[in-house]
Amino acid sequence: MSPGAVRIPLQDGAFHQLVGELMARSSEVVGTRPGSAVQDLVLSIELGYFFFAWLREWPRIAPRSRPFFVMFAVSLLGAALWCGLGVYIHLFEPLPTERTTAWLAFLGLGAVTPSVFPLVSALAFAKEAPTFSNFAVPYAVAGLAALGYCLALTTGVEVSLGGMLPKELWLTPWHAADGRSYGGEKHGISFDLLSSFPCYRGDSMFLLSTFFLLANAAAAVILQRATHRCEGAFRDVARRLCIGVTIMLVNCASILYLLVVCGMSVDRVFDVFHAIQGLVMAASFFDFRSVLRMQMQDQKSA
């Protein structure tokens, strides 16, 4: 370099500086989870890739497959954005004690997949073209579920049915989730919207997790019925998807057991949850794409 020349910093250096600044700021936040943030970033990239790979199928699909195509695209996009915003939540709002705009957006994006996934499972193995007239019940259930959750989320209403739902959830005869902040207890926090279980507020993670459990259970039933109704390759794919959704169901339910019974930290629980979800979502994407392509092949040969 000649005398007096100005050295221009590399873009990589600016990127590392930005990451370092974010990590420095997040380190001042109580309960921050940088490991979980990285995992959510990886999941967001994975799901974003699957979303764009799914869009590439559009030019070849027939009208019969369009509802299935659109609903699964919505599910993938919602999940990708949810995990992307999860990076911010894990770093800067890891234990929210009050609702914020970012927290509400995080829960709202998280509700996209459970709102539509049972519908996606039904559309994938529908006997005939799923129009609004002959497929009214699945469409209506999905719409009402999404609307109901949005109302609970935006109002933050208590859904404990007037105190009828239990304040303690007994997981074993010796272990109960008692509503404490499992992530914030060691920091002197008694309640937060993410790790207090059970919490029946409409803007709590517990309610979103319950929504996921119900959606996975519904999808598992739909896919199990498809294994009896379908034949050949469709039946094989339905069976694999049913197994995958059942694993996701167990993965969601295991959160409380890992926290309360096994005594794992919130960070380690997210490690397990993210790893299993990432693998199952990848397998589910390729199975649903196989269904889409088999539908297109059947329509060409019809």
Distance (Å, rounded) from C-alpha 222 to C-alpha 214?
Answer: 12
Q: What is the pLDDT of residues 44-100, one digit of tens each?
A: 999 999 999 999 999 888 888 899 999 999 999 999 999 999 999 999 999 999 999
| pTM score | 0.89
Backbone angles phi, psi at 161, to 5 degrees: 55, 50
User: How confident is the model at residue 97, as a pLDDT?
Assistant: 94
How sure is the predictor about 162, in pLDDT bands with cuts at 50, 70 and 90? confident
Strand ranges in 42-168 using DSSP code E only, listed in sequence order = none
Residue spans of the domains in the chain: they are 32-301
How sure is the predictor about 302, in pLDDT bands with cuts at 50, 70 and 90? low
Whose CA is closest to 181, among 252, 96, 100, 91? 96
Average pLDDT, the chain: 90
How many residues does the structure list for the chain?
302
User: How confident is the model at residue 9, as a pLDDT?
Assistant: 52
- Residue with token string 């007037």: 162
Report whether the peptide linkage leading into residue 198 is cis, meaning its omega lies within 30 degrees of zero: yes
Q: What is the pLDDT of residues 207-242, one digit of tens each?
A: 999 999 999 999 999 999 999 998 899 999 999 999
User: How confident is the model at residue 28, as a pLDDT?
Assistant: 81
255 or 20, greater pLDDT: 255
Q: What is the pLDDT of residues 12-55, one digit of tens each?
A: 567 677 666 767 777 788 889 999 999 999 999 999 999 999 99
- Residue with token string 């500086």: 17
Q: Where does 32-301 sit in CATH, by number?
A: 1.20.1070
How sure is the predictor about 129, in pLDDT bands with cuts at 50, 70 and 90? confident
Distance (Å, rounded) from C-alpha 141 to C-alpha 217?
Answer: 14
Lowest mean pLDDT across 3-7, 81-85, 160-164, 166-170: 3-7
